[in-house]
Structure 1
């Protein structure tokens, strides 16, 4: 986690220069619905909210940019068991489960809605309300990759790309 979106992009470009032999990837929240006909780079360049920092991203390979759609929190709600394990007693998943009945995929839930759901579900836990910078890095380690990949095509794309690059099986 590199703080701001533009900082993450700058770190990506620095990594390309300092470690050209490595397979460098920008993994970033999409922040908005993604048109499946666009590449991740095109999605970012089309978002006026991401100007001007992303506009020079024209000579990179598609496999070097991966989106958490619409935001990383979608991956968390894809694995309610991980949330329950991390937050423990007091975690209330009912609002998330009920809310998801209105959506066809975790990737279609807006950033604002995900935040509301997670804060409500975690309000009465020992760890307190969900906090992105304090909780997200640890929460990512609790996730069942297979569950998240099944619920999130963009997560599956990331793991498939990494496995292909390493020459291993994507399962």
Structure 2
């Protein structure tokens, strides 16, 4: 394998690992984020987590799916780097690129759903705990967007090395 092709393969592998790390960080933040109820008229406020909002459940689901997919394809990228050749033929490579695109779009929609609901909540006054909750959700969705950017760059590298 030529040195430029090897460098692209190493870059793709590093981007996959970075994507996985960003998705895991996002998953940890959204799964551990909780507050007491922001409603002040409740005498004994219950804990609220991502489970109380459908959009935040979607954010968590997307992070889990993204982690599982990335863990599934990292070995293929590692074999490509170590052996110097792609696994399979151009159809298999095209299929991996297609699944990368689908996963990138899925992760982007999860980030957009979480950010959209957070922005909507921030339009109304809330207590300090709920603001912290929303800030952590923002951070989690920002990490998802970072993972999306890594995947897009990785897709561009894969398509470039395919041609």
Per the normalisation by structure 2, the TM-score is: 0.27
Larger radius of gyration: 2
Specify which structure has the higher proportion of helix: 2
Higher relative contact order, chain-length normalized (CA < 8 Å, sep 6+): 2
